[in-house]
Amino acid sequence: MEAESKKEFWSWGKSLIVAVLVAFIVRQFLFTPVIVSGESMEPTYHDKNRVVISKISTLEHFDKIVFHAPNADEDFIKRVIGLPGDTIVMENDVLSINGKTYKETYLNSNKAALPEGQKLTQDFEVKVPEGQLFVMGDNRANSMDSRIFGSIEEDSVVGKVKFRFYPFDEIGNPK
């Protein structure tokens, strides 16, 4: 009986070790949970929201990403506005990337809250250097982003936001 108990214990032990190893590999190299901190992405994400990021996704315009902040010892969550080589122009709250105009519908509620005639985003023009990204928060009036600290290195990206899993009544991937 004792030999059988040892055999079962060893079987459970191996299974537990494999499970921990798989979880470590997935979290380290593929997906990881992140807690949103701050108001810079409101109304898309709020403080204390919990999201899952993919560490192996390719980035496109308007993707939400988590990256190591260039001016702080923390990670930020922002939206990719400019990819390497892009020319970004913001004029009268209208975004143009490489001469093409885009509607930023995710900003509609923030724009609606502004007093008549006030702009959400100040005018600017920037060329994104190779190997870098231009990022901005959705809460443009309260976001420390590339307008302040400049473009970020592509290597500083931790991952692309794929899914919000908390709060439970907002589960999914907001636009």
- Residues 164, 3: Cα–Cα separation, whole Å: 47
pLDDT tens digit sequence for 74-111: 999 999 999 999 999 999 999 999 999 999 999 999 98
Structure-model confidence comparison of residues 81 and 115, the more confident one: 81
Show me where the domains of the chain are located. 33-170
Return left, alpha or beta for 92; rule: phi > 0 is left, psi -120 to 50 is alpha, else beta. left
Architecture of the CATH domain 33-170: Ribbon (2.10)
130 has a pLDDT exceeding 90: yes
50 has a pLDDT exceeding 90: yes
Question: What is the rounded average pLDDT of the residues 47-52?
Answer: 94
- Asked about 78 being catalytic, the answer comes back as yes
Using alpha carbons only, give the angle 69, 70, 73 rounded to the nearest 5 degrees: 55
The highest-confidence range among 17-21, 99-103, 139-143, by mean pLDDT, is: 99-103
State the pLDDT confidence band at 121, using cuts at 50, 70 and 90: very high
* Cross-strand pairs, 33: 52
**Rounded to 5 degrees, what are φ and ψ at 66?**
-110, 135
**Model pTM score:** 0.85
- Residues 27, 47: Cα–Cα separation, whole Å: 22
**pLDDT for the residue 126:** 98
Catalytic hit among 40, 143, 146, 151? 40
Catalytic hit among 78, 143, 146, 151? 78
- Asked about 103 being catalytic, the answer comes back as no
1 has a pLDDT exceeding 60: no
174 has a pLDDT exceeding 80: no
State the pLDDT confidence band at 116, using cuts at 50, 70 and 90: confident
C-beta neighbour count of 20 within 10 angstroms: 10
28 has a pLDDT exceeding 60: yes
